[in-house]
A = this chain, B = another copy of it.
Amino acid sequence: MGGLYFEDVEVGDSYTAGPYRVTKSEIIRFAQQYDPVPEKIDEEAAARSIFGGLTACGPHTFSIYILLTSQLQPRLHFLGGLGWDELRMPNAVYPDDELDLDLIVLEKRESRSKSDRGILRLRIILRNQRRETGA
């Protein structure tokens, strides 16, 4: 099984994935299921919203970020996520945006309770094709 384990990763290492192209139909389909407010599923309502058009809902952007972390090359083996701090989405994601991901290792320490694993603190940035940060 390829990919990187805790012991293979050093502070300062960085990895990238993407781009992922977000389509209008995916934006609408996702929002219909998980954020079914008019401005996320209807183009006319979206045009009148503060975003001026259809934009991906927050969990959709978050989902794309997770998808891209699963596409890092080489693969990083995660057992699970302990949490997220300072999750920010300063720029909306519009149809046909292309998102890529940068992951930087800020900190690593071995688990105090379980000797077969460790904990990484990561900085993860999504950017669109205009190089604006998305999350």
Contacts and interface: CB of A to CB of B under 8 A. Distances in A.
Interface of A: 30, 33-37, 49-51, 57-60, 62-67, 70, 79-89
Contacts of A49: 79
Given A37-B70, A58-B66, A50 B85 contact: no
A82 B50 CA distance: 13
How many copies are assembled?
2
Main secondary structure of the interface of A (DSSP, over half): loop
B81 A89 contact: yes
Contacts of A83: 86-89
Nearest to A67: B34
Contacts of A67: 33-36
Contact of A66 (B35, B51, B66): B35
Nearest to A71: B36
Given A34-B63, A34-B66, A66-B59, A86 B88 contact: no
Contacts of A86: 83, 85
A26 to B, nearest CB: 9
Nearest to A75: B37
Contacts of A59: 59, 62-63, 65-66
A42 B80 CA distance: 16
8 contacts: A33-B67, A51-B80, A58-B62, A58-B66, A59-B63, A62-B62, A63-B63, A83-B86
